[in-house]
With several copies, the nearest count.
Chain A
Amino acid sequence: MDKNMLAGLEGMPEEDKMRMASMIDQLQIRDSLKMYNSLVERCFTDCVDDFTRKSLKKQEETCVTRCAEKFLKHSMRVGMRFAELNQGAATPDN
């Protein structure tokens, strides 16, 4: 999420930079898995409400697929806006 945090470590020995980078990598993997888990929970909760059988209905599958796609697009958009704000790139009010 924040690779340029490494910039602050300019003076650090190579070994520490690598440790830092590996810490960031692991945090990102953990975060992706968490995001994945929360996406599944949300789309399941919103789309599945019939427990009269064990398999998904066609309509539930469609709902889950759309939900997941919307969620991913939403995440990307939020990520872009979030990055802009982090860099102080404010735009006029509207």
Chain B
Amino acid sequence: MAANNSPLPAGVTKEQAFGMAETEMEYRVELFNRLSQTCFSKCVDKRYKESELNMGENSCIDRCVSKYWLVNGLVGQMLSAGGQRPM
């Protein structure tokens, strides 16, 4: 569409590049929010007897984040492999 010396892949307009960047960021934000909500539900005692996270809660959170991350990767692998892996 114009002499192209931009870092964009061929055929991608600037509008589209901004759109994709925005979509990618929205995805990461949503991943973070879901992970955070889920681990709060799994790890934090709902009786709220104190305002500090205790040691058990803290290590539960660390492991929960790690496992959520692994599950995210595992599912990503499955989907990019076609999602139809027989089993």
Contacts and interface: CB of A to CB of B under 8 A. Distances in A.
The answer to A–B direct touch (Cβ < 8 A) is yes
A76 B81 CA distance: 17
Main secondary structure of the interface of B (DSSP, over half): helix
Nearest to B24: A5
Nearest to B22: A23
B63 A53 contact: yes
Interface residues of B, number: 62
Given A63-B48, A74-B40, A5 B25 contact: yes
B51 A65 contact: yes
Contacts of B78: 65, 68-69
B14 to A, nearest CB: 7
Given A77-B58, A82-B32, A33 B27 contact: yes
Contact of A78 (B27, B28, B52, B65): B65
Contacts of B67: 44, 48, 51, 54-56, 60
A14 to B, nearest CB: 14
B87 A69 contact: yes
Interface of A: 1-2, 5, 8-12, 16, 19-20, 22-24, 26-27, 29-31, 33-49, 51-56, 60-61, 63-75, 77-79, 81-82, 85
6 contacts: A9-B7, A27-B22, A40-B34, A44-B71, A60-B67, A69-B52
